[in-house]
Structure 1
Amino acid sequence: MVDRIVCYRAPTTVADVDAVVEWLRDRVDATVSIRDRFLETHRTDELPERFAESRVVSPYERETGNTMVGIVRYEERALEHPEREGGVLYDGVHVQRALNAALPDDERGLETAHIAVLDRAIGTWGDHDGRWHKRVNVLGQPAIVSVPGLYEAPAKPEEYYQEKQKHALLSGDAPPREVLENQVDGEFLIENDPRTTDALKGYVLQAYHYLETGEAFCENEGCRLFNAHYHEDLLEAQLREPAFCDEHAPLYDE
């Protein structure tokens, strides 16, 4: 049984983890505390190489990792100056193992749920289609919640990809993201979206719920515990009322 939750801030993002923690305290039967960035609080000498080993090198190759000296140096700089990191996809399960190893021995037990909100893009391999898929979270110990994943993992409206392809055919390169977002109808989250904090609340709760109950996600599309694959479903689950389905409302409604 989880009796303690530790959430970690992501200072290079717009995510207000302090606000998420306040929301969580009203809904769980556990002590909830907050710490600064996980990769600073639990920094180890091994982490740069572990992140280098976790790099996805191709969308269609299962094997990951590039531990050339220059790549490891990049990961060292990314730990020191996280605002400079970006554009890299990491194997979320491999990163989770690395972060678990960085936890103090006396905090690895499942009675303490560590939830690391990160500014890194993470993915998991899909055996069913032979490619990597970006994710918002990876459940377990510690749980990882990716802020970039909130914007990038769920699929956007079809028109978004049509406009992107049309622009590439005409100009030879991909259009700036803000151009697409202004041209395409439909709701979806964008980078630094002011709704980021509210949308993340359910993903953080999913991490606690998994360790507490063993249930990964809810299948009800209107519940904050739902694992949305499309932006419209994410917005429905995380930002619309009611917040929870009939099964989970007794557990987590205020």
Structure 2
Amino acid sequence: MVDTVVLYRAPTTAADAEEIGAWLRERLDPAVDVRVRERFLARAADGESRTDLAESFAAARVHSPFERDTGTAMLGVVRYEERVLADPDRGGGVLYDGRALQRALNARLSSSEAPLSTVHVALVDRAMATWGDHDGRWHKRVNVLGQPALVSVPGLYEAPARPEAYYREQGAHAMLSGDAPPREVLESVVDGDFLIDDDPRTTEALKGYVLQAVHYVETGEAFCDTDACRLADSHRQPGVVEAQLREPAFCERHAARYG
């Protein structure tokens, strides 16, 4: 039984952890204590442990979409990861094995808060992926469920596929010019509803992904099969908009629990 949820801020992003926490309190049992804390990575990398955590991040780096092996022990990469842990504004453009990061961060939970009666959900400013054995490639993810659960804010924009029109326009431009158009150009000309970097709807969309993390620990159910439910695992941006930003918020079954 979950009695505490700890939500961690991601201060370099458009996500408002306080608003998400307030939304959770309205949906969970009143006995559940929902707390909002500072950035998880700052707490985990405090003091001498920063180098160890930086090495874990370096080891979790994804090199290629189709290569299972990850990571490097190169000193320059570890130093880069140390700098980004200290100053997250200096990071970006790197994809990590979400499961490897989760294991590294789980080891840094205090023993008093490690039991599953306390669910830790970290909003992170890193792009994450998980390996697909079924097709032999990495897949970007918005969240990685477990303890702690990781919710990637850049993953919200990058992991779900864009509308088909986006890729048609991208291909047409490449045929004419020989290169890909800047993303902001595509975003301005393509009709269709999808989220972009620092989208003002970011906080609202992330609420469902944070709830998924709590729901998974409490019930063992990863996702909902109904597309129009905040607990759905949407693989395309239009599905994210449908599930997270439009009514009804939940399918009939989950509305009985959270609605």
Normalized against structure 1, the TM-score is what? Answer: 0.97
1:8 aligns to what? Answer: 8
Give the match for residue 64 of structure 1. 70
Equivalent residue runs for 1:123-202 within 5 Å: 123-202=129-208
Counterpart-to-counterpart distance in 2, 1:88 and 1:173: 22
Among 240, 243, 249, which residue is 1:237 paired with?
Answer: 243
The one-letter amino acid paired with 2:42 is E
Aligned-residue CA RMSD (Å): 1.0
Render the CA deviation track for 1:155-197: whole Å, top value 9, x for unaligned.
1112212222333344443322110101111110000000000
Letter of the 1:147 partner, please give it: V
SS of residue paired to 2:123: strand
Q: How does 1:69-148 map to 2 (within 5 A)?
A: 69-148=75-154
User: Measured at CA, do residues 213 and 63 of structure 1 come closer, stay the same or move farther in structure 2, by a change above 3 Å?
Assistant: same
> Partner of 2:21 in structure 1?
21
Q: Are 1:227 and 2:233 an aligned pair?
A: yes
Give, in whole Å, the separation in 2 of the partners of 1:33 and 1:172: 51
Q: Which residue of 2 aligns with 1:218?
A: 224
Report the TM-score when normalising by structure 2: 0.95
SS of residue paired to 1:117: strand
Hey, what's the Cα distance between the residues in 2 that align with 1:158 and 1:249? 31
Structure 2 unaligned segments of length 5 or more: list them. Answer: none
After superposition, residues 28-43 of structure 1 pair within 5 angstroms as: 28-29=28-29, 30-43=32-45
Q: Does 1:249 align with 2:255?
A: yes
Please give the alpha-carbon distance, in whole angstroms, between the structure 2 residues aligned to 1:95 and 1:173: 34
List runs of 5+ in structure 1 lacking aligned partners: none
Q: Distance in 2 between matches of 1:179 and 1:190?
A: 12
State the one-letter code of the partner of 1:203: Y
Q: 1:226 aligns to what SS in structure 2?
A: coil
The letter of the residue matching 1:9 is R
Local SS of the residue matching 1:248: helix
Q: Separation in 2 of the partners of 1:181 and 1:167?
A: 13
Deviations 1:32-59 (A, max 9, x none): 0000100012223311000000000111
User: How many pairs were matched up?
Assistant: 253
Distance in 2 (alpha carbons) for counterparts of 1:173 and 1:48 = 35
The 2-side partners of 1:84 and 1:170 are apart by 35
The equivalent residue for 1:48 is 54
Percent identity over paired residues: 64
